[in-house]
Structure 1
């Protein structure tokens, strides 16, 4: 038999497709010909595979080897096909059992010495293999812990091509080699430079602390406006701690995105919501994701089920900010290329922070603003109306005064654990109320449903909000968003229906700047 077949996985974004890797040996001049729409990195696999096999002591056939990656129309990229290509070639030559490799999905990059190297995206690749009906996957030894996070899959870890060939029935003597370790990027990174970000450290910002709890309870986006030193960054670092632990599906998505980005996943799925805080010089591709051949997740995708914090938001490019509008609405990040479309989860909480003017001193007691009125308008005008209209909570924060500091020190302050408990209870109440609907968070509920006769609060409670609409203080879209926030405030307080006080607080949180 001069033919071998096995399987690999082609990833496009978070989605993976099973690829049949076929090898055929013909009586022609020595060469490895790769067909089936490989990219440049994959096309170089022929050189890696031949050198790796030779240095592993199991050289490939000296005849012409044609390797086909099927389906041929599916784009394929990266070096993760190396192991499958090498084993298909060895099976075609009769060096290993062809029946054995047909039952296994192979993932891994080969070094020239024959060792297997971990690659980004092992976790989503194994998930794709399982969904396609496969039960066994072979990966580099350094990726075993990550692959085993997918329950129900048999994971075979090998350190070298020789070990893989022996496992598939090759009559070779084992030669121990050191496994290539996975990336040493830490699984958990400090939040905005702080090792412990607890809400109890926040002093004198009671309205902002309430706003963070409301945002966490309802999944609302928020905008904090205030001078330097008011604590905007400190507050942002504490929002992820208020969010509940990730459920199984969200944990798998967060860990898969981390794997695609080449970061260490560890021996357990992520349990806490992520926080991403890109610099204001980041491009649209860095925020949303992109790449010419390999489409990588950007900061927004890495923040899925967590928080995307844009500090000094007006300093970001207008194209970057406007690119966020689509995932804010749909909860999905779609990146289009000529030959492929990649989708990433994009349901995150957006937290914006900005100074009131370029110098940051406008409206600060005792401060001297040197900015012209036009400069102040242009500065905040960089945040477009359509983007701000999607932000439910907009609040101004001021620097803490001596009086506030002394008052805060004399009173007990809420810790992150206590606030998270309130948020968990509030989300449970919202989930129970929305159990018969397709929504789970107050921020997802459409306005027409909230304004319906079944959910609309009483006339007395709605009086202040109705007056604000009549006087032009808010738009109809703002009206609906205030209602959403009011339900989150009520859930935090344990109320079954928002009262006038809850709606008043929501209106303040919406128009607080």
Structure 2
């Protein structure tokens, strides 16, 4: 008897519906075709044990399982449940009437329990798109999938519950999640706050500008100056995620299997801080079984690279294209996937190996030329994609011991949101551009107009401070953001002067 059940395969951040065809006939062997990997092939042993524990029997006939389309590789153990249900229906132990209305996915334990799967959200989105009535999956993934409206989602604990559902013995209520209520319940629920940071007002100002314009930023300063502490608080002043951004980020974390079971929807902007020993593949994504990398997990949020010169040069160089394109394409001989990667890069570094170059009190003990060599670990093209270079100096005792309360993140965020609203209106007709940092060179010429005095100021800066030619567009972009924060239609001299101040690493005299 031939029976069809329906599952799903996840590629990139999207899903493809898979038809599981099961035919039971004369013979005594088990065959599986349709490009299954080892985890799928091993499903026979899990399925047989689970069926017996549920009180049913495994047919002792030839069982042929075909996973269609046959030219797409099937990976993982999530096909256990649809295969088990298909075998029971094909052997006449289960009514097959409802099978065509539901997508079924889940990994089986030997005792019939259902283990969580990856990619429940894109699977639910694809199931609704193709007109399925509902989705049956492990209870651990039910909330995640239920944020898709107009789709009945049933979270099951074991194989027997699924059998009873299809046989009509039990009719559980579908899981319901109020997407908007879930979204607004925990939005901006951050533990950290800029009010915790004593002093460093100039650094807070630089990070406010970075957040307002979506600019990449690098913090340079001695150990213990507060670079990491400041970077970790950057998400608290970024504009809140809108619902579309929250869904995008949730899809990525769902595919990567990193979504917490009690979180149906991500409501905070991601903050990723990989260790400097990270590999190229772990950063950009890919591998034998394609997975999103750190730059995609930071989508719509912040990627923080602490001690930037300690990262392998090859790892840093693979970020160059994603920083420009805001997506990453993983191409291999047998597959090609694309992950979104629109993130803010925040990096930190010591000014030299000993950490005390340009320190106000301590002397640098590095040999001549070592500072320049240390800085040269970061390539010019990568540095070119970082708009703000900020020098962080240690906080003195009087500021640390001061009882004066610092400005809260909520107040800074209000100014950032106001500046972003100006940019939303400016780029309303452009789908790919949402912030000043994303402007092309041609857009900079048209939007960032400056007067004769402004051109004279930039000319003097480039000549006297030794600024490189690549700094020109970056200065104009940052100046435009500063003007937006000041609610100014034009870029004034003071806006340009502040933007020039944030190009420390372009100064020829900076590293001696």
Superposition TM-score, scaled by structure 2 size: 0.90
Structure 2 SS opposite 1:224: strand
Which stretches in structure 2 are left out of the alignment for 5+ residues? Answer: 173-189
Match of 2:11 in 1: 12
Aligned mates of 1:310, 1:389 — CA distance in 2: 16
1:451 matched to 2:449? The reply is: no
Match of 1:186 in 2: none
Match of 2:345 in 1: 350
| 1:6/1:103 contact within 8 Å kept | no
The total of aligned residue pairs comes to: 486
Aligned mates of 1:483, 1:238 — CA distance in 2: 26
Match of 1:23 in 2: 22
Aligned mates of 1:207, 1:273 — CA distance in 2: 24
Match of 2:315 in 1: 320
Aligned mates of 2:3, 2:71 — CA distance in 1: 21
Give the Å deviation of 1:475: 4.5
| 2:140/2:261 contact within 8 Å kept | no
Structure 2 SS opposite 1:269: coil
1:139 matched to 2:137? The reply is: yes
Structure 1 SS opposite 2:373: helix
Give the Å deviation of 1:412: 5.3
Aligned mates of 2:51, 2:326 — CA distance in 1: 45
Structure 1 residue corresponding to 2:303, chosen from 304, 308, 312: 308
Match of 2:387 in 1: 392
Match of 1:80 in 2: 78
Match of 1:224 in 2: 219
Aligned mates of 1:42, 1:417 — CA distance in 2: 49
Aligned mates of 1:113, 1:466 — CA distance in 2: 74
Structure 1 residue ranges, 4+ long, deviating more than 3 angstroms after superposition: 402-406, 409-412, 466-477
| 1:58/1:162 contact within 8 Å kept | no
Give the Å deviation of 1:336: 2.4
Match of 1:57 in 2: 55
- Deviations along 1:471-490, one digit per CA (max 9) or x if unpaired, are 79445542112111111111
Give the Å deviation of 1:203: 2.4
Change (3 A) 1:132 1:467: farther
Aligned mates of 2:105, 2:322 — CA distance in 1: 31
Aligned mates of 2:104, 2:349 — CA distance in 1: 49
| 2:235/2:271 contact within 8 Å kept | yes
Match of 1:295 in 2: 290
- Deviations along 1:280-337, one digit per CA (max 9) or x if unpaired, are 1111222222332x22222211111111111111011111111111210111122223
Superposition TM-score, scaled by structure 1 size: 0.90
The equivalences for 1:474-485 within 5 A come to: 474-485=467-478
Give the Å deviation of 1:114: 1.2
Change (3 A) 1:470 1:434: farther
| 1:258/1:265 contact within 8 Å kept | no
Give the Å deviation of 1:390: 0.3
Match of 1:276 in 2: 272
Structure 2 residue corresponding to 1:99, chosen from 78, 97, 100: 97
Give the Å deviation of 1:458: 2.8
The equivalences for 1:231-242 within 5 A come to: 231-242=226-237
Aligned mates of 1:498, 1:56 — CA distance in 2: 72
| 2:10/2:255 contact within 8 Å kept | no
Structure 1 SS opposite 2:97: helix
Change (3 A) 1:385 1:123: same
- Deviations along 1:102-150, one digit per CA (max 9) or x if unpaired, are 1110111011111211112212222232233334111112221111122
1:500 matched to 2:493? The reply is: yes
Give the Å deviation of 1:97: 2.7
- Deviations along 1:208-258, one digit per CA (max 9) or x if unpaired, are 111100110111100111101111011101101111111112111222222
Give the Å deviation of 1:48: 1.3
| 1:75/1:340 contact within 8 Å kept | no
Match of 1:35 in 2: 33
Match of 1:185 in 2: none
| 2:328/2:340 contact within 8 Å kept | yes
Aligned mates of 1:163, 1:437 — CA distance in 2: 49
Aligned mates of 1:158, 1:401 — CA distance in 2: 58
| 1:23/1:67 contact within 8 Å kept | yes
| 1:3/1:93 contact within 8 Å kept | no
Aligned mates of 1:41, 1:65 — CA distance in 2: 18
Aligned mates of 2:429, 2:455 — CA distance in 1: 25
Match of 1:129 in 2: 127
| 1:225/1:355 contact within 8 Å kept | yes
More displaced stretch, 465-474 vs 206-215? 465-474
Structure 2 SS opposite 1:151: coil
Match of 2:333 in 1: 338
| 1:361/1:367 contact within 8 Å kept | yes
Structure 2 SS opposite 1:373: coil
Give the Å deviation of 1:260: 2.6
1:213 matched to 2:208? The reply is: yes
Structure 1 SS opposite 2:502: helix
